[in-house]
Amino acid sequence: MSDSSTLSAAVAALPGWFTLDPVRPQLLGTRCTACGTYYFPRQQLFCRNPDCAGETFEDVALSRTGTLWSYTNAAYPPPEPYVVKEPYQPFGIAAVELERECMIVLGQLARGVDLARLCIGQRMELVLEPLDDGKLIWKWKPAA
């Protein structure tokens, strides 16, 4: 099923932070029109590059693939505001480096990704999956 109209903003854990394309989702950031620095989460008022006076930003969807920078898991249930469904199922977490943006972005690993089979430097892609409370969030999984 690839009908994006079935997904509404109400289902996102962080509305407006990513597209709701069920097949090829992307994180939604901004880019300083003066120096080219990308921002995720979005930055819309002042550029944080200390040498840049930029105050205008363009909306930009971030690269949806990158290389695995590092990874771990959450063996114990995280505290609130994380919502835990019992019985607790540990989940993985990845840090993925986006080449074009020169930026590392964290996210959970998609369900079922085996930590033991991951290798730093491998290609990863962005997907959407529900958190335990059913709200959608972006996750990383090995690129097909």
What is the Rg, in whole angstroms, of the alpha carbon atoms belonging to the chain? Answer: 16
Say if CB 11 and CB 18 are below 8 A apart.
no
In the complex, the smallest distance separating the C-beta of residue 84 from other proteins, rounded to whole angstroms, is: 9
Structure tokens at 25: 């989702």
**Any contact of residue 53 with other proteins (CB under 8 A)?**
no
Work out the angle at residue 80's Cα, subtended by the Cα atoms of residues 76 and 83, and round it to the nearest 5 degrees. 75
In the list 18, 57, 66, 103, the residue contacting other proteins (rule: CB under 8 A) is: 103
**Any contact of residue 73 with other proteins (CB under 8 A)?**
yes
CA distance 81 to 84: 9
**Any contact of residue 88 with other proteins (CB under 8 A)?**
no
**Any contact of residue 63 with other proteins (CB under 8 A)?**
no
**Any contact of residue 20 with other proteins (CB under 8 A)?**
no
CA distance 100 to 123: 14
Binding site for other proteins (CB under 8 A): 13-14, 17, 32, 35-41, 48-52, 69-76, 78-82, 91, 93, 95, 101-108, 115, 120-121, 131, 137
